[in-house]
């Protein structure tokens, strides 16, 4: 069941109505049933994987918390990691590594072929696996106590608004909310519906319209030239943001209608002034997950073993940052998909983050010497454009189907020798609708970034507010591409 489907439009109000009609002690039952039904609408047979992940983490967390033996605790954690990551590896990466091994063996004239499988990737497996793992690791670290009620824990691992594509929840903030007695709140519903309409606008009006152009170019790049590459890449930068942030808006609203606050996943990322700040604003739940469970543990482990001030002529703190970043961003790229393009995309971001870490203090010293303040408007605008350029450049590797396609596009993206750029939309008017919609998106996000949006809206008289809302609703239903495919992040 997709958020952008007629079924969900009926499903969500029904669940919310029953949620508030039921006594608090029975609400977890409704949420488990609704969540599993929601997941089974995607693929019935893969619901067993979700259930298995829930049981594994439920039991392992309890056993870990009860054991005082360090070896047993470590063994249980490792076993949990293997049992949870095993299915993820098999469905998502088995063919990728089989192909890599086969290619390597051929170089040595060994023609044994590792097998391939044709199973579909279970939707949401990367997200609920990481959420369950985070819970188990937090119990292992002693940060939280295990949940002894299996049904309530099942709500945490399967909560339908975030099940398919996040945000990846943390047990410390999410599970207490399921215990809280919540009453119907009209304001939550009203404000939530407004945000949901905006989320649908970003998804079906902007993202799905831009995907038409992007797919045409990136799925057959040999047929086009630099002008098309440039437009398609800029469109993809907007598409992936509107698609994923639109999903997150709808997910957060769906939960908020029941009084549950999901983690903020996007915070106007394209207005960031550095790569580091971009990743503090983009897919925040995943970024913080990798920070807490991969980057920091690696950094701490290495720092305990190095006593020198420099390693290979590099300051120790920078050396540790380089190693931890390389591992983290390799895994980040691989998490997004079994393709070399994602790995290169991740490592490029890791490289720019290392460069930022190395140059940041030097740049501040230079600015002070020449008398430029850190909040200088011109500097802020330049930094924002440079950051957007870097991020958009890396999107080429993220979206390209192969590494060779990515390098061909990067090599010719500014080659305009062919001259005229053809409008690749099925309907010519879509080109203008796309640009107007992007302009509206940019205007609203700039107002929001500078904390002016709420103030501006409060100055409107009520009929104007309703006119804007009605216009968005009409745009969603009239201009929206409701026959389009899934949300992009379902494939990850």
Catalytic residues: 336
User: Which residues have C-beta within 8 Å of that of residue 440, sequence separation ≥ 6?
Assistant: none
Angle at Cα 258 formed by Cα 252 and Cα 259, nearest 5°?
80
Question: Which residues touch 85 (CB under 8 Å, ≥6 apart)?
Answer: 129, 133
Helix (H, G, I), strand (E, B) or coil at 64: helix
Longest dimension (CA), the chain: 76
Q: If you write DSSP's letter for every residue of 271-335 in order, what string do you get?
A: G-SSHHHHHHHSSHHHHHHHIIIIIHHHHHHHHTT--SSEETTEEHHHHHHHHHHHHHHHHHHHH
Distance CA 196, CA 16 (A): 15
Helices (H), 46-185: 47-66, 70-107, 125-141, 150-158, 160-163, 171-179
Compute CA 447 distance to the chain's CA centroid, rounded to the nearest angstrom.
24
Range 277-302 burial, b when 16+ CB lie within 10 A, else e = bbbebbbbbbbbbbbbbbbeebbeeb
Q: How far apart are CA 350 and CA 361, in angstroms?
A: 18
- 314, β-bridge pairs: 311
Q: Are 228 and 421 in contact (CB under 8 A)?
A: yes
- Residue 315: phi and psi, rounded to 5, are -55, 140
User: CB-hemisphere CA count at 13 Å for 14?
Assistant: 10
Cβ-in-10-Å burial (0-12, 13-18, 19+) of 56 comes to: middle
Sorted by sequence, the CB contacts under 8 Å of residue 168 that are 6+ apart come out as 127, 130, 131, 134, 162, 263, 285, 286, 289
The alpha carbon of 126 is separated from its chain's Cα centroid by a whole number of angstroms, namely 11
Which sign, positive or negative, has the C-alpha torsion 372, 376, 380, 386? negative
- The rounded distance, in Å, linking the Cα atoms of 150 and 64 is 16
Cβ partners under 8 Å of residue 363, min gap 6 = none
The CA distance from 355 to 359, in Å, is 6
CA distance to 207, 212, 266, 285, 489, per residue, from 245 (Å): 10, 19, 6, 12, 10
251 contacts 4 by C-beta, under 8 angstroms: no
List Cβ<8 Å contacts ≥24 apart for 105-112: none
Q: Which two tokens stand for residue 375?
A: 């909040």
């Amino acid at each position: 069941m997709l958020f952008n489907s007629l079924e969900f439009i009926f499903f969500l109000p029904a669940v919310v109505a029953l949620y508030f009609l039921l006594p608090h002690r029975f609400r977890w039952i409704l949420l488990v049933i609704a969540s599993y039904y929601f997941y089974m609408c995607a693929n019935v047979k893969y619901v067993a994987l979700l259930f298995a992940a829930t049981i594994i983490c439920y039991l392992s967390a309890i056993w870990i918390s009860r054991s005082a033996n360090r070896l047993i605790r470590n063994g249980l954690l490792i076993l949990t990691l293997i049992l949870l990551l095993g299915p993820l590896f098999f469905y998502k990466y088995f063919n990728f590594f089989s192909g890599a091994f086969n290619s390597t063996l051929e170089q040595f004239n060994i023609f044994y072929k590792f097998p391939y499988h044709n199973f579909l990737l279970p939707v949401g497996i990367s997200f609920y696996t990481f959420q369950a793992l985070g819970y188990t690791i937090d119990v292992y670290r002693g940060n939280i106590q295990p949940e002894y009620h299996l049904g309530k824990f099942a709500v945490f691992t399967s909560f339908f608004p975030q099940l398919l594509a996040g945000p990846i929840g943390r047990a410390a903030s999410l599970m207490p909310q399921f215990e809280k007695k919540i009453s119907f709140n009209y304001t939550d519903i009203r404000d939530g519906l407004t945000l949901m309409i905006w989320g649908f606008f970003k998804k079906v009006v902007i993202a799905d319209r831009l995907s038409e152009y992007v797919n045409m170019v990136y799925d057959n790049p040999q047929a086009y030239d630099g002008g098309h590459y440039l437009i398609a890449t800029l469109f993809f930068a907007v598409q992936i943001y509107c698609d994923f942030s639109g999903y997150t808006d709808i997910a957060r609203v769906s939960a908020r209608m029941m009084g549950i606050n999901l983690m903020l996943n996007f915070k106007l990322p394209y207005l960031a002034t550095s790569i580091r700040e971009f990743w503090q604003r983009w897919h925040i739940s995943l970024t913080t997950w990798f920070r807490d469970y991969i980057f920091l543990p690696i950094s701490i482990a290495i720092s305990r073993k190095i006593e020198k001030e420099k390693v290979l002529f590099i300051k120790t703190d920078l050396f540790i940052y380089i190693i931890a970043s390389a591992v983290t961003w390799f895994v980040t790229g691989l998490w997004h998909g079994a393709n070399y393009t994602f790995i290169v995309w991740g490592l490029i971001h890791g490289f720019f983050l290392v460069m930022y870490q190395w140059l940041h203090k030097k740049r501040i010293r230079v600015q002070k010497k020449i008398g430029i303040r850190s909040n200088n408007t011109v500097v802020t605008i330049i930094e924002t454009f440079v950051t957007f350029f870097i991020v958009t450049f890396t999107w080429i590797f993220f979206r390209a189907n192969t590494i060779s396609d990515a390098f061909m596009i990067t090599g010719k993206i500014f080659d305009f020798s062919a001259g005229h750029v053809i409008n690749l939309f099925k309907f010519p008017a879509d080109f203008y609708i796309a640009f107007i919609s992007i302009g509206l998106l940019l205007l609203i996000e700039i107002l929001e970034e500078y904390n002016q949006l709420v103030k501006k809206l409060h100055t409107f008289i009520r009929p104007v507010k309703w006119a804007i809302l009605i216009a968005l609703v009409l745009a969603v239903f009239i201009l929206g591409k409701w026959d389009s495919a899934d949300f992009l992040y379902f494939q990850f």
